[in-house]
Structures are given as C-alpha cells and as structure tokens.
Structure 1
Amino acid sequence: MSKVPPFDVTQQFQQIGNDLNREVMAVLASGQYIGGPHVMQFEVEFAEYIGSGHGIACNSGTDALYLALRALGVGNGDEVITSPFTFFASAEVISMVGAKPVFVDIEADSFNLDLDRLEAAITDRTRAIMPVHIFGRPVDMTRLMAIAVANNLHVIEDCAQATGATWQGKRVGSFGDVGCFSYYPTKNLGGCGDGGMVTTNNAAIAEQVKILRDHGSAKRYYHSHIGMNSRLDAIQAAILRVKLPHLNRWNQLRLEIADRYEQFLKHVPHLITPPKCPGSVWNQYTIRLVDCDRDAVQAKLREQDVIATTYYPLPLHLQEVYAYLGYEQGSFPVCEAACQQVLSLPMFPELSEAQQMMVVDALKTALS
C-alpha cells in the first residue's frame, strides 16, 4: 500500500473492529440475513440523526435516487435539473426512469449548482431539482427550496457525499421531498459493501419507496407496481449501527484535516484551496491547479507515494451516452474548467498529521 492512500478503511476497523465483529457474528448466528431488527432499527436511528420522519434502507445510493424518483412519479417526458459535475449515477437514474436530465453550470468556488442559473433552466416539463451536495459541501438549501416551491417542483437531495453535513444548522437530506444517501465504504458513513437510504418527512412517499424496493409488493406475493430488489442486508445494517455514533467525531476530524490543508497550502503558487464552508463534512478536499498540468502534478505525487484522485475528469454533459442531449464543449464553462483543474487530496478521519505533511511537501515539490 502507498504511504499516503486517498482513503484507508483499515485504521477505522482497528478502532472499532471488536464491536463490528460482535454485531456481525450475532447477525450470522441469528439466521436473519434479510430485513429483521437491525435493518428496522437502523432506519429509525438514521432518520432521527438526519432529522427526518422516515428512513427507508436500500441496496445503494444509486438505488436510493432511483427509488426516490419513482416514488415521486417522475417518468417519461419529464425533466429533472441536476449538476454536470458529479458522479454519473446522479444523471443515470434520471434516464433510468425515462426522464431527461437537464444540466446547470456550477459555482467556481463550491462546485455546487449555480443557483443564479437555475431558474433559467426550468421549463413546463421540469418536475424536479436534484441538488448534489458535492464533496460534502451543502448547497444553499434555503434559496434552492424557495425556487422549488415557487415553481411547484420536487426536490431530491443527493447526499451521497454529505452524510452529516448541515445548512444553517439543519442536516442535509431533511430539506427536500427526499434525501438520498450512500453507504459505499469511502463515504463519511461507510459500510463494508454497498448500501443506501432514502429519508423523507412524507409518509406516503416513504410507503411508496418501501413497496418499490421490494418488487412492488406491500404484501408478500401480491404486487401493485413493477419494483425491484433493493433491500439492505442485515449485516450491513448492523455494521452501520455500530458506526453511526462515531460519525460526528469522524466528521470533526475531517474538518480539522481540512483546516490544516488550508493553513499549509493557501499561499502555494498555482493552487487554489476550497473556501471554508460552515456545515461541510469534507468527504473530499479538492483543490484547483491553475496554469499547470494537473495530470503531470498527479503523476509526480504518485512517484512520491501520495495518491491524489481526480473527481471528475469528464463532465456529465460531455459523456458519450449523453451526446443525444445536444450539449457541446463550452456549454458549461465553469464545470469544464473544473474538470481540467481539480485534484482531491488524501482525506479520511485517521489521516495523521505526519501523513498530511507528506502530502503537502510532495505537492509543493510537484509544483516547483
């Protein structure tokens, strides 16, 4: 393993491994591997943590987004506005339900949707807005919700990278019609495999998601909808229940790491650090490299045993699969510039100060 990996889950296991082993073995001994008390209890505990009335566990963050769109009735002929600067799943699920993804450029500093451009993208076919709290940084949900309400639009919050993030003291995933979370191992609250959650304050939406995640069935062998198999395994729920009480501490450690990066990198030439943001949980610490070759810098870091990652090298509107939408190079210049400049430095709660200084020194050397 490299001296400074982008993420390291092994140190977390060393800290809480005994608790994880105990709970996993208890699930195995119980014989209750699908559903059961761990899944139900985790749904309640996570919804309480977020501040939502309901939590519905599912198989992945991607499934959470898909199920949310289905539960809201988004489908053929509809449009959903989202960001072109995010993981492919955010747009993919819109296409999967038969709707059209409509992209809006991002802000240069936050990498989130540029809300100044949002209303211009709304048409008579727009049914929903899907803000992405990218890299753990919350979107201005006060302003976004005002726009959505004024235009009678649903809001699906993509919180995959932002578990625990807050906007004005309220956790993301509790603002919109639904919040969608991922428990992929590298997320702020990560499992030991895939997993996801839909949060909502609407009981009818919650019931619809429950039906859709279980083959469109509210009663076994009786099916009212075409659904899917998207249940969270009991073992994953048990693991996540052990981890949830540690999340605020882990997020605080991420904040401290981000503050140190800012302290040591803010005056380095050719480098722009991300601005501080109250409520961010720093799933990634993503810098911009200007007037230099980002890929060459990344390669030089690798030669020094520091692994930095590019999120994302190609924006969604320029992906081959979305050529039919008619977007061209230059459609979203802020996003496109970011894709050429961004570099995410190693970021995980257990990253030591010594490791962090290795990153800083290697980066200064690579830029010299």
Structure 2
Amino acid sequence: MAYNDLSAQYQHLKKEIDAGIAAVIEHTQFISGPQVEELEQALCRYTGRRYCVTVSSGTAALLMALMALGIGPGDAVFVPDFTFFATSEAVSLLGAEPVFCDVLADTFNLDPESLRAQVRRAKKAGRLKPRAVIAVDLYGLPADYPAIEAVCREEGLILIEDAAQGFGGELAGRKACGFGKLSCTSFFPAKPLGCYGDGGAVFTDEEPLYRLLCSLRVHGKGADKYENIRLGLNARLDTLQAAVLLPKLAAFDAENETRNRAAALYSSLLAGSAFSPPGVPAGYRSSWAQYTVRAGSEEERAAARSRLEAAEIPTMVYYPVPLHLQKAYAGLGGKAGDCPVAERLCKTVFSLPMHGYLAPEAVRQVAAALLRR
C-alpha cells in the first residue's frame, strides 16, 4: 500500500499532464512561460485572492512574504511550536527571532491563548519588537483565524497564513490561502496540490505588496530583470511545474472529496478506540494533507506503527521534535516544558495513508490492522 499514491493520480491525469509537459517542451519557454500566468490566475479564482505570485518552493514563499513586510533583526515573529522547520527557518534567515507558541491538542493548530500570552511576554521583556504571526494550517485544517485575527488586532501584529499543507481547506466558506495580509502555500509533491518537484505561491489582496513580491521573485528587479532596485531572490516557479499543476488543480476538488470521505471513514472506524482521530470543528473543512491520530503514549505509538509495518502499511510521524527543542534553536534557550501540548504531540502522533485516490477498502484494511491486538 502506498502512503500517498502519486502513481495512481498520474495514471488518472496522464493524458492532461503529458500534454501539458509536451506543450512546454514544444514552445521552450521554460522560465516564466504562459502556463505560469495561467496557473496564477486559476489559483486566484480558486482561493478568492486578488493576486498570486508563484515561486520556487513553499519556503521561498514564506521568506518572500516576510521580506515584503520588512521583517528583520530585532523583530519577533510568533509561530506554532508544532510544525515543519521551514515556518520558523524563514524568520531566522532574515535575522528576526521566532517566538514559539503552543498548539491545541485536538486540531494541532496554533493556540490563540498561548499566542496572546507570548506576545504580552515579549512586549514586557522589551528585547524584541513584536511584528507578525505566522499561523499554520497543519495537516490541511485551517487555523482558528477568527481568534488569531482578534489577537493580531489587539496587539498590532501582521498575520501571515502558512497554508503549505492547507490548500483546499475551508473555514466558514473561506478557502485556505485567503487569510492574513499575505498567505503562502507549497506545491511539494506530497501536498494536496503538488507538482513534480518544488514549488509554491504567495497570495495577497494588496496591489503594492503584489508588485513588491514580483520584484523580489526575480532578484529585486525593476522595469526589467537587468534593473535591480532591491535585493531579492531567484524564486520563480518553472513553467514545467505550472503545466503539471494546471490539470491537477482542475481535478483537485474531486480528489479532495475522496480525501474527506476517507477521513470520515477512518474517524468512524477509530471512534472509541485507543487512537484519537483528528478534530475538525464545526464550520471547518480539511484538505487532509495528512490523516494524523494520537496514541496514548510513545510506547503505544511505536507498537501500533510496528503492527502496521508488519501488515505492509506505511506510516509517518509529523513531527518528532518541537521547534523550540530543535538543535538549530539551542541558542534561544528553549527547554522541555515550554510548550507541553506540542511536546506531547511529538511523542504520540502518527499519520496513516491518505491521498485523493484512497479506496474505502484500503481505509478499512488500515483501521483493521491498527486495531488488531
């Protein structure tokens, strides 16, 4: 059994994907070809955003969003402690300091009360200037934006949505990538909308930010790429990747329905068991980048994963180490107990097979193997 069956997706979309790739090879506009602009317009229509700038990776998207806001040394950017390293890494690369906030045990997303406490603690200490919050849509579920936006208004912070895993999720009818002053996503192959390499996008509703992002994407260009008016990056999305993403975006809603049906079946089969299904609050919809359950302990997780491995069912652990305990951040003085929920999740969560072509029979097979004693 495949954890994320990209081969099944390719076979389903083979004709369209092959034709898209062939068209790029035929016209040879491998950089900034017409498919890139076509994809950006389609992504705007899907998310409801006014502007989209496709880029070379989800990490580049985060970095450019922070650069566009002028984040730098002396600034504090508040991030959830339980997420992939890139969320905080982009902050650190610009000389700013990530401040780690705890998460909610049921949704795995940023805890608004922990955020509020950390912002006020930083203001009281006075060492850093609180500037922004990066809220992550972990595993495909949008964060609690109403509560997070309220904290940002109260404390004078800019909100960035990290929807690297969240594309296709919804909150009260609003699509993921539609929250915050800027939002970012990733097209890494394993994501709900993934290309055949690295890729990403930044979204905004503000034209000045859009024009700044377009400049940053190509070495800080001005009127053309040989006029450089600021420091920027080489962060363009390849035309070939745009050509792969266009048919995948057209098929995305159907695949998302399959993921949601599979998740609902998983949750039904695991209800009342020793493995807690992920929470999806009323009014939310996940795109299920991962279907992640919680075991009762680290030992129970290890035993469950061993049972599944014996049945040739792959699992993954996202993520085994909270950000504040990563070696790269040893200099910030983080210690065990700083973010207890995140630390507990790192020891107990594991993710089951999930993709847009996962059959109900496969879900039942996974659940049966997991619950077998």
TM-score of the superposed pair, with normalisation by structure 2: 0.95
CA distance in structure 2 between the partners assigned to 1:98 and 1:299 by the alignment = 42
Aligned counterpart, 1:150? 154
Deviation at 1:327, TM superposition (A): 1.0
**How far 1:36 sits from its partner (Å)?**
2.1
User: Paired residue for 1:233, among 233, 238, 241?
Assistant: 238
More deviation in 297-306 or 58-67?
A: 297-306
Pick one of 181, 184, 199 that aligns with 1:180.
184
Q: Give how far 1:280 is off.
A: 1.3
Counterpart for residue 132 of structure 2: 128
1:272 aligns with 2:276: yes
For 1:165, the equivalent position in structure 2 comes to 169
Structure 2 residue identity aligned to 1:220: K
In the alignment, which residue of structure 1 is the partner of 2:362?
Answer: 355
Give the C-alpha shift of residue 120 in structure 1. 1.4
From 56, 59, 64, the equivalent of 1:62 is 59
Query: CA deviation digits over 1:287-306, x for unaligned, max 9?
Result: 00004431232122111101
Take 1:85 and 1:300, find their aligned partners in 2: how far apart are those partners? 26
For these two proteins, the number of residue pairs brought into alignment is 362
1:253-264 matches, cutoff 5 A: 253-264=258-269
Instruction: Show structure 1 runs of 5+ residues with no match.
Output: none
Question: Is the 1:266–1:273 Cα contact (8 Å) retained in structure 2?
Answer: yes
Match of 2:126 in 1: none
1:88-134 deviation line (CA, Å, top 9, x unaligned): 10010000111000011111101001112211111341100000010
Q: 1:35 aligns with which of 21, 32, 35?
A: 32
- Separation of aligned partners in 2, 1:52 and 1:181: 13
User: 1:209-224 to 2 correspondence within 5 Å?
Assistant: 209-218=213-222, 219-224=224-229
User: 2:217–2:233: 8 Å Cα contact kept in structure 1?
Assistant: yes
Structure 2 residue 116 is matched with structure 1 residue 119: yes
Contact preservation (8 Å) 1:265, 1:360: yes
1:318 partner amino acid: L
**Alpha-carbon separation, structure 2, partners of 1:25 and 1:200:** 32
Tell me how far apart the structure 2 counterparts of residues 275 and 322 of structure 1 sit (CA, whole Å).
30
* Identical positions, percent: 37
Q: Does 1:336 align with 2:333?
A: no
**What whole-Å deviation, never above 9, does each CA across 1:195-229 have from its counterpart, x for those lacking one?**
10000001111111111110111222111111111
Structure 2 counterpart of 1:303: 310
Task: Quote how far apart the aligned CAs of 1:140 are.
Answer: 1.4
- C-alpha RMSD over aligned residues: 1.1
Displacement of 1:284 in angstroms is 0.9
Q: Which amino acid aligns with 1:256?
A: R
Contact 2:160 2:179 in 1 (8 A): no
User: Is 2:98 the counterpart of 1:101?
Assistant: yes
Q: Indicate if the aligned counterparts of 1:145 and 1:175 stay in contact, CA closer than 8 A.
A: no
> Out of 290, 300, 325, which is 1:284 matched to?
290
Secondary structure at the counterpart of residue 272 of structure 1:
coil
8 Å CA contact 1:167–1:279 kept in 2: the answer is yes
Q: 1:138 maps to which residue?
A: 142
Structure 1 counterpart of 2:201, which letter? M
**1:276, distance to aligned residue in structure 2 (A):** 3.1
- Partner of 2:293, secondary structure, is strand
Find the partner of 1:26 among 6, 18, 23.
Answer: 23
Q: State the one-letter code of the partner of 1:172.
A: A
* 2:292 partner amino acid: T
Partner deviation per Cα, 1:225-245 (whole Å, 9 max, x = no partner): 111110000111111111112
1:8 aligns with: 5
- Partners in 2 of 1:245 and 1:184 — Cα distance? 17
Deviation at 1:154, TM superposition (A): 1.0
User: For the residues of structure 2 that align with 1:5 and 1:237, how far apart are their CA atoms?
Assistant: 25
The equivalent of 2:201 in structure 1 is: 197
Residue in 1 aligned with 2:70?
73
Partner SS, residue 293 of structure 1: helix
- Offset of 1:274 from its aligned partner? 1.3
